């Protein structure tokens, strides 16, 4: 059993601690008494991945037969896989999707199934490029299926969706027509965080705007505390998705869910110091850190971006489960918690976090200001169970340069959202009422989503709502080192250094606040009591 | 030589009571106040105004418009709007006439004819100067006499008719033997000569050459229009040169004083012939008023004011002139009062009286005093510079004319070099900033040069105009009139006048301007009932690349790696050639380049566009451009893309547009022939296309929009009511700034990786 997570109390002997900030990091001295939350050490990986996969497929959990018994000649089989948004950073090849897909396809072939379609469950995310798909599914699958039988999901195909029904709360359930009409959907998932997987895989991954708007909205987001706590009654979004999943099940949509979890080995060995606690750095870690920092500080932005873009995680599989959706997901969560849960006692007045270079929506792309907001206040802030790490009305201090930069192919609607919508209001409710519909149905964005590699027109709204709860919970949000104009556009404050930010925080939380530094990545969930 | 004058028997008002006075130039600076005083204080005097009607305003409307000006503030307060109109009805007759064109029809019964209209410019073309200042005066007085009147003439001239002299100038007839009739005849004939000279083939070729240098890419019509414009400018410049040189060769500093002097002689002869009493009034430099209608009243900017303003803005580091030289300034109300006193005291019929209304002889203002008081004024009340505190005023050392001229020449050379450099910089934001800075510096140097050329004589002057006769007239007035109509130049307190009256008056508008936010012209997108077009140029406007780059790119995507080196060598080797062709004529360039597509399959190109070019274009397309296109669409406008590229290549952007106008490549059996099936739409062909389109579709261009980046698109931009320059080149940038067109910067989205050559096409 590896070391569990740990909460450090900063004292005189504590060295400067690493704080990630976009495409770079800083070494920061923290005030005495600051609590620093560290994730548990990586769990050991499964030794023999192929046999683990085979074992899972043949020994399903919950009310499900083994996969071979579900396959028969002449059937329609649809295999859906998670898209490029997970895992983060992209996994070193072979991606875990590859052996699972190969196994499933082999079993199907053995059972004489001929009609097999692979769908990348992008929902409203951008279409993956051919190269990205090849990397995720592996050469063999790619060659056999791409492009005729291995496609990105298209949520705007007027003929491509089927309305399954409504939940008892009046939510539309509409998913991919091909998937809905198949005799079996096999969903291949990677569960990086607690909100992935479960009913979300099909009900969200293969759905369009009509269905998604019922849970991706300001009201649901404000009532999800937290997204990372999928227990009934804790997360309105999870509850909604679960209702939809049950509508699918009751309508006879048959899903064989395969979920995987990976350990927390996020960074390759040359950046190994990023996986370790600072006082345990050896001479080589120290040297690597210094070299990386020096090189990074002098490198031009393009080079820096390219360096980070190329990072691949040496993740190891910690578990694979298959079968009925809810039963599988329960085991997945247990596995995930084993790796990610850290016990923390009590909330702090000030929460400090570093926003790293990568979130789910900027793989091979640019972390634009809206995504910075989402990653900081949507994802990192929500990495808790029970209570947030920071008190209601407390101060959140984030580290990120927040450059005014966008990827014009991946995020065209983000640019307009930033220039047009945020210039007028930052209030999620106002934005939702006034602008969402127009962006969601805009024919140009739809065109780019379907034919280019653009996120859907409504996607920046979801990113903004995603951070709504954190924004609302905090009394003040300060970006250390942020570009003044883009931080102002987001409606936050900025400071040149953490010291200044702490000084500014005193207006809100008084002169001697309790401070917590959430030392992620790697990903962890703070269980706050 | 001033004879003792009898004390005036009656007051000025009484003397003019029951009389009818003809006034010219009432819309100008001086006569405006004469008119106001006549209305206000001479209730028994009738006024006849000779005013030229203009397109859009009758002569009467022009007079009514006068009443809204600040010169009439006091009177308007006293009698109200209606009272003014009543006065106009009861006591004023407005007649329409243009004495520049012939004798105006003037009614009889004129007792006093006061002529103060003159060419405003110091440097008009020689024929215009003569026609206004000499022939005009003769026409006017001729018209008055023909109407049956035998009035006393009051002729406004200038002190500087004395020409280039040193020493003391008395008030008397000018001494010269110039034959004004011959000068007039030749001046008028000069225009014919110059016009003829400008039409000689070698001249026309020169105009064409320089027009072509700048506009060849726009097309032949634009070149022709520009060449003609250049010819006209040349004619004017040449005639100005004729005038200035002739004036100087006879001892006058400029055409203005020369023609005014000729005019005096002509009027003197005319008055003697018709035995009319003639008074010639010669004011020096007229500036804002001392007391009436209110201290500091001024209409427009007079001679010294542009210099005072520019100095206050810190733009004149040094100025030529003799520090001890006398600057002969006289407040406008002194001149008005003198004119009224002169009008009330005419000489005997057939006699002539000359009056200098000037300050130089009895109350001289020296150049360095003027400078120091104005400098002190600006130090105490600096001009605000928006957002940057206040302007600093320079210190003048009066190093002598030669040094100043040397400084000017050096500055001129430097700005010329800088200008050549910046206009050849590649298109970018910093190029445009540099152009703006160079233009500003150049304007400053030009300003100082022009004013020192023009006013050299006035600031270097060592001449004194006596005003004994004027003083004698003043002394002869009744005590009451002396207080009411003061014009004794000795009464002017220069320090008070310059610091408390004049400088605040001429800088007021600058102070108000700096308070307001400078309104940058912006694009307003409005929905309208009638159809509105929004036209977008592609290369350089929507897409931040030039044609050559995008074609090279597209070409590369179409080849297998093995073919790259050869093709690259071939394309890059020809780039200088392409650029040269492109500089001369974009159409030729496109024809040359499209030849490369000979034999390419239509389907292959379509696939190439879908697979590779689309991404390239979307990445290079400016987000601001796309947003703007969509805004126009949302407002119900018809969006039109105009591009020199082949239509197949712009398909990725076509969903944004209702109409796409691009080059069409000829196809045969599913392959391109390398020829274009219609001439390329570049330069003025675009405007022509647009006109035809509007005719066919019944669209008005008044409310339409056009966006382009290059000067060659000027015909297109000028065709619409709402032109917008987008990331413009230096020439368009200048043009747009001058016209106050909106200028926008659309660039690639920040942070995007550089566009790389595409991966080689997959051949299947």
| Tens of pLDDT, residues A110-147 | 999 999 999 999 999 999 999 999 999 999 999 999 99
User: For residue A305, which residues of chain B lie inside 8 Å, CB to CB?
Assistant: 753
A64 min Cα distance to partner chain B (Å) = 43
For residue B726 the two structure tokens come to 């987008």
Structural contact between residues B267 and B278, judged by C-beta atoms closer than 8 angstroms:
yes
- Residue B390: band (very low, low, confident or very high) from pLDDT cuts 50, 70, 90: confident
* Percent of chain B surpassing pLDDT 90: 35
Q: What are phi and psi of B712, to 5 degrees?
A: -70, -15
- pLDDT at residue B308, rounded to an integer: 85
Q: Assign residue B400 a region: left if phi > 0, alpha if psi is -120 to 50, beta otherwise?
A: left
DSSP-derived letter for residue B7 is P
Query: Which sign does the torsion angle of CA B489, B495, B496, B499 carry?
Result: positive
SS (H, E, C) A19-49: EECECCEEEECCCCCCEEEECCCCCCCCCCH
For the cut 50, the answer to whether the pLDDT of residue B310 exceeds it is: yes
CATH architecture under which domain B533-744 falls: 3-Layer(aba) Sandwich (3.40)
- Mark which residues 454-513 of B lie under 8 Å from A by CB: none
Q: Say if the Cβ atoms of A416 and B754 lie within 8 Å.
A: no
B653 min Cα distance to partner chain A (Å) = 10
- Cross-sheet strand order for the sheet of A493-495: A6-9, A35-38, A515-518, A348-354, A390-399, A476-480, A493-495
Q: Say if the Cβ atoms of B750 and A406 lie within 8 Å.
A: yes
Q: Does residue A131 belong to the interface with chain B, where contact is any CB pair within 8 Å?
A: no
User: For residue B657, which residues of chain A lie inside 8 Å, CB to CB?
Assistant: none
d(CA A289, CA B402): 68
d(CA B238, CA B242): 6
Q: Does residue A403 belong to the interface with chain B, where contact is any CB pair within 8 Å?
A: yes
Structural contact between residues A327 and A482, judged by C-beta atoms closer than 8 angstroms:
no
For the cut 70, the answer to whether the pLDDT of residue B9 exceeds it is: no
- pLDDT at residue B764, rounded to an integer: 36
Domains B1-178+250-284+328-360+466-471 and B533-744 share a fold: yes
**Which of B611, B628, B634, B753 would you mutate first to test chain A, the one with the most A CBs within 10 A?**
B753
Q: Say if the Cβ atoms of A443 and B753 lie within 8 Å.
A: no
B552 min Cα distance to partner chain A (Å) = 21
- Structural domains present in chain A: 6-42+338-528 (3.90.226.30), 49-262 (3.40.50.11440)
Question: Quick one: which of B617, A290, B167 has its CA closest to A281?
Answer: A290
Residues of chain A with pLDDT under 70: 1
Q: Say if the Cβ atoms of A366 and B630 lie within 8 Å.
A: no
Q: Say if the Cβ atoms of B749 and A408 lie within 8 Å.
A: yes
d(CA B494, CA B382): 20
User: pLDDT tens digits, residue range B458-481?
Assistant: 666 677 888 899 999 999 998 888
Q: Determine the residue of chain A that is closest to B625 in CA distance.
A: A416
Q: Say if the Cβ atoms of B655 and A407 lie within 8 Å.
A: no
- pLDDT: which is higher, B762 or A67: A67
d(CA A91, CA A98): 11
Residues forming a β-bridge with B722: B705
Structural contact between residues B126 and B134, judged by C-beta atoms closer than 8 angstroms:
no
d(CA A261, CA A56): 13
- Mark which residues 305-334 of A lie under 8 Å from B by CB: 305-306
DSSP-derived letter for residue B751 is T
Q: Say if the Cβ atoms of B627 and A416 lie within 8 Å.
A: yes
State chain B's mean pLDDT as an integer: 85
Question: Quick one: which of A426, A514, A435 has its CA closest to A464?
Answer: A426
Of B618, B655, B656, the CB nearest to A408: B618
- Residue B319: band (very low, low, confident or very high) from pLDDT cuts 50, 70, 90: confident
For the cut 70, the answer to whether the pLDDT of residue B301 exceeds it is: yes
Domain ranges of chain B: 1-178+250-284+328-360+466-471, 313-326+362-462+488-517, 533-744
Q: Which of A366-370, A471-475, B119-123, B206-210 has the lowest mean pLDDT?
A: B119-123
- pLDDT at residue B568, rounded to an integer: 61
Q: Say if the Cβ atoms of A409 and B615 lie within 8 Å.
A: yes
Q: Say if the Cβ atoms of A415 and B627 lie within 8 Å.
A: yes
**Which of B749, B758, B759 would you mutate first to test chain A, the one with the most A CBs within 10 A?**
B749
- pLDDT at residue B414, rounded to an integer: 85
Q: Span B514-521, mean pLDDT?
A: 67
Q: What are phi and psi of B702, to 5 degrees?
A: -55, -40
User: pLDDT tens digits, residue range A144-197?
Assistant: 999 999 999 999 999 999 999 999 999 999 999 999 999 999 999 999 998 899
- pLDDT at residue B754, rounded to an integer: 64
Structural contact between residues A106 and A146, judged by C-beta atoms closer than 8 angstroms:
no
> What's the CATH superfamily of B1-178+250-284+328-360+466-471?
NAD(P)-binding Rossmann-like Domain (3.40.50.720)
Q: Say if the Cβ atoms of A448 and B618 lie within 8 Å.
A: yes
For residue A442 the two structure tokens come to 């805009």
Of B618, B621, B627, the CB nearest to A419: B627
- pLDDT at residue B118, rounded to an integer: 73
Q: Span B716-730, mean pLDDT?
A: 92
d(CA B364, CA B326): 6
ipTM for the predicted complex comes to 0.86
- Residue B457: band (very low, low, confident or very high) from pLDDT cuts 50, 70, 90: low
Q: Which of A73-82, A321-330, B23-32, B586-595 has the lowest mean pLDDT?
A: B586-595
- pLDDT at residue B389, rounded to an integer: 80
Q: Does residue B755 belong to the interface with chain A, where contact is any CB pair within 8 Å?
A: no
Please state the pTM of the whole predicted model: 0.79
DSSP-derived letter for residue A474 is -
Q: Does residue A408 belong to the interface with chain B, where contact is any CB pair within 8 Å?
A: yes
Q: Determine the residue of chain B that is closest to A438 in CA distance.
A: B634
Q: Say if the Cβ atoms of A366 and B748 lie within 8 Å.
A: no
**Which of A146, A408, A418 would you mutate first to test chain B, the one with the most B CBs within 10 A?**
A408
- Mark which residues 729-748 of B lie under 8 Å from A by CB: 748
- pLDDT at residue A506, rounded to an integer: 94
- Residue B192: band (very low, low, confident or very high) from pLDDT cuts 50, 70, 90: very high
Local structure of A151: helix, strand or coil: strand
- pLDDT at residue B677, rounded to an integer: 81
């Amino acid at each position: 059993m590896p070391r569990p997570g740990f909460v450090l109390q900063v004292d005189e002997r504590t060295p400067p601690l690493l704080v990630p900030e976009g495409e770079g990091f800083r070494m920061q001295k923290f005030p005495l008494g600051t609590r620093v939350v560290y994730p548990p050490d990586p769990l050991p990986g499964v030794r023999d991945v192929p046999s683990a996969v085979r074992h899972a497929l043949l020994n399903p959990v919950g009310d499900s037969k083994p996969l071979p018994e579900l396959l028969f000649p002449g059937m329609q089989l649809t295999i859906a896989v998670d898209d490029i948004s997970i895992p983060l950073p992209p996994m070193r090849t072979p991606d875990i999707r590859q052996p699972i897909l190969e196994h499933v396809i082999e079993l199907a072939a053995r059972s004489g199934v001929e009609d097999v379609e692979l769908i990348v469950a992008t929902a409203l995310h951008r279409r993956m490029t051919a190269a990205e798909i090849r990397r995720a599914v592996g050469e063999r699958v790619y060659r056999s299926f791409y492009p005729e039988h291995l496609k990105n999901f298209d949520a705007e195909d007027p003929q491509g969706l089927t309305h399954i029904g409504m939940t008892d709360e009046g939510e539309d359930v509409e998913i991919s027509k091909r998937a809905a009409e198949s005799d079996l959907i096999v969903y291949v998932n990677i569960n990086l965080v607690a909100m992935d997987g479960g009913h979300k895989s099909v009900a969200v991954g293969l759905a369009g705007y009509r269905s998604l708007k019922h849970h991706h909205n300001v009201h649901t987001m404000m009532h999800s505390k937290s997204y990372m706590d999928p227990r009934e009654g804790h997360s309105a979004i999870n509850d909604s998705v679960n209702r939809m999943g049950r509508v699918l099940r009751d309508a006879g949509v048959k899903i064989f869910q395969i979920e995987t979890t990976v350990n927390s080995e996020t960074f390759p060995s040359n950046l190994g110091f990023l996986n370790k606690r600072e006082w345990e750095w050896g001479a080589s870690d120290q040297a690597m850190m210094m070299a990386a920092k020096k090189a990074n500080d002098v490198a031009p932005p393009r080079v820096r971006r390219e360096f980070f873009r190329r990072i691949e995680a040496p993740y190891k599989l910690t578990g694979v489960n298959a079968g009925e959706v809810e039963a599988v997901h329960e085991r997945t969560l247990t596995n995930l918690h084993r790796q990610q849960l850290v016990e923390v006692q009590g909330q702090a007045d000030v929460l400090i976090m570093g926003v790293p270079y990568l979130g789910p929506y900027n793989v091979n792309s640019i972390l634009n200001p809206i995504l910075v907001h989402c990653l900081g206040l949507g994802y990192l802030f929500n990495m808790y169970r029970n209570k947030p790490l920071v008190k209601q009305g407390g101060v959140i201090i984030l580290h990120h340069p927040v450059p005014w930069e966008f990827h014009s192919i991946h995020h065209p609607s983000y640019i307009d959202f930033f220039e047009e919508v945020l210039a007028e209001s930052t209030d999620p409710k106002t934005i939702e009422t006034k602008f969402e519909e127009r962006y969601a149905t805009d024919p140009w964005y739809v065109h780019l989503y379907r034919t280019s590699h653009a996120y859907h027109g409504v996607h920046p709204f979801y990113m903004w709502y995603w951070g709504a709860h954190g924004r609302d919970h905090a009394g003040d949000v300060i970006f250390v080192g942020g570009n003044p104009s883009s931080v102002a556009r987001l409606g936050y404050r900025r400071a040149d250094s953490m010291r200044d930010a702490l000084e500014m925080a005193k207006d809100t939380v008084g002169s001697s606040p309790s401070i917590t530094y959430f030392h992620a990545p790697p990903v962890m969930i703070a269980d706050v009591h | 030589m001033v004879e003792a004058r009898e004390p005036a028997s009656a007051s000025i008002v009484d003397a003019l009571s029951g009389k009818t006075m003809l006034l010219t130039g009432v819309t100008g600076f001086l006569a405006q106040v004469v008119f106001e005083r006549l209305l206000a204080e001479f209730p028994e005097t009738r006024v006849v105004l000779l005013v030229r009607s203009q397109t859009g305003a009758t002569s009467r409307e022009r007079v009514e418009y006068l009443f809204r000006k600040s010169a009439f503030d006091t009177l308007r307060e006293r009698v109200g709007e209606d009272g003014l109109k009543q006065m106009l009805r009861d006591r004023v007759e407005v007649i329409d006439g243009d004495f520049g064109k012939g004798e105006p029809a003037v009614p009889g019964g004129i007792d006093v004819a006061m002529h103060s209209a003159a060419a405003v410019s110091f440097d008009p073309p020689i024929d215009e100067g003569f026609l206004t200042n000499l022939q005009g005066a003769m026409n006017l007085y001729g018209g008055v006499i023909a109407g049956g009147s035998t009035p006393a003439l009051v002729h406004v001239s200038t002190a500087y008719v004395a020409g280039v002299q040193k020493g003391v100038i008395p008030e008397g007839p000018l001494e010269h033997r110039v034959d004004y009739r011959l000068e007039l005849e030749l001046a008028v004939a000069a225009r014919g000569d110059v016009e003829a000279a400008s039409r000689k083939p070698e001249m026309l070729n020169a105009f064409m050459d320089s027009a072509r240098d700048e506009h060849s890419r726009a097309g032949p019509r634009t070149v022709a229009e520009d060449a003609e414009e250049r010819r006209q400018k040349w004619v004017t410049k040449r005639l100005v040169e004729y005038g200035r040189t002739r004036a100087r060769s006879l001892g006058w500093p400029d055409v203005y004083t020369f023609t005014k002097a000729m005019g005096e002689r002509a009027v003197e002869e005319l008055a003697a012939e018709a035995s009319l009493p003639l008074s010639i009034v010669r004011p020096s430099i007229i500036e804002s008023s001392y007391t009436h209608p209110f201290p500091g009243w001024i209409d427009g900017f007079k001679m010294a004011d542009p210099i005072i303003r520019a100095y206050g803005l810190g733009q004149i580091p040094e100025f030529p002139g003799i520090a001890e030289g006398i600057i002969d300034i006289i407040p406008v109300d002194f001149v008005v009062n003198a004119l009224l006193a002169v009008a009330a005291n005419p000489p005997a019929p057939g006699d002539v009286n000359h009056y200098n209304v000037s300050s130089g002889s009895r109350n001289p203002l020296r150049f360095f005093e003027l400078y120091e008081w104005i400098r002190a004024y600006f130090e105490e009340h600096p001009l605000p510079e928006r957002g940057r505190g206040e302007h600093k005023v320079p210190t003048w050392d009066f190093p002598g004319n030669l040094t100043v001229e040397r400084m000017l020449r050096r500055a001129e050379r430097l700005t010329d070099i800088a200008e050549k450099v910046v206009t050849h910089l590649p298109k970018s934001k910093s190029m445009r900033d540099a152009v703006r800075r160079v233009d500003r510096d150049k304007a400053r140097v030009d300003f100082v040069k022009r004013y020192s050329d023009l006013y050299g004589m006035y600031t270097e002057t060592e001449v004194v105009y006596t005003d004994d006769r004027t003083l004698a007239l003043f002394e002869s007035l009744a005590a009451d009139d002396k207080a009411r109509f003061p014009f004794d130049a000795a009464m002017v307190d220069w320090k008070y006048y310059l610091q408390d009256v004049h400088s605040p008056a001429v800088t007021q508008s600058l102070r108000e301007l700096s308070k307001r936010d400078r309104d940058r012209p912006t694009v307003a997108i409005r929905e309208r009932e009638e159809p509105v077009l929004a036209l977008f140029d592609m290369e350089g406007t929507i897409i931040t690349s030039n044609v050559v780059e995008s074609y090279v790119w597209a070409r590369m995507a179409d080849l297998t790696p093995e073919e790259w080196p050869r093709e690259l060598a071939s394309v890059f080797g020809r780039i200088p050639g392409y650029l040269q062709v492109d500089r001369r004529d974009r159409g030729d360039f496109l024809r040359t380049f499209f030849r490369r597509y000979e034999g390419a399959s239509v389907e292959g190109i379509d696939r190439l566009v879908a697979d590779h070019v689309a991404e390239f274009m979307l990445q290079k397309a400016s987000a601001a451009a796309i947003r703007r296109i969509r805004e126009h669409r949302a407002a119900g406008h018809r969006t039109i893309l105009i591009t020199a590229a082949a239509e197949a290549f712009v398909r990725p952007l076509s969903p944004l547009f209702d109409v796409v106008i691009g080059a069409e490549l000829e196809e045969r059996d599913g392959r391109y022939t390398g020829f274009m099936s219609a001439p390329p739409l570049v330069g003025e062909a675009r405007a022509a296309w647009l006109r035809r389109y509007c005719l066919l579709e019944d669209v008005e261009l008044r409310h339409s929009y056009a966006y382009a980046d290059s000067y060659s698109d000027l015909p297109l931009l000028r065709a619409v009511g709402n032109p917008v320059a987008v990331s413009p080149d230096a020439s368009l940038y200048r043009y747009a700034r001058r016209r106050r067109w909106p200028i926008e910067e659309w660039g690639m989205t920040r942070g995007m990786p550089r566009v790389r050559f595409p991966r080689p096409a997959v051949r299947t």
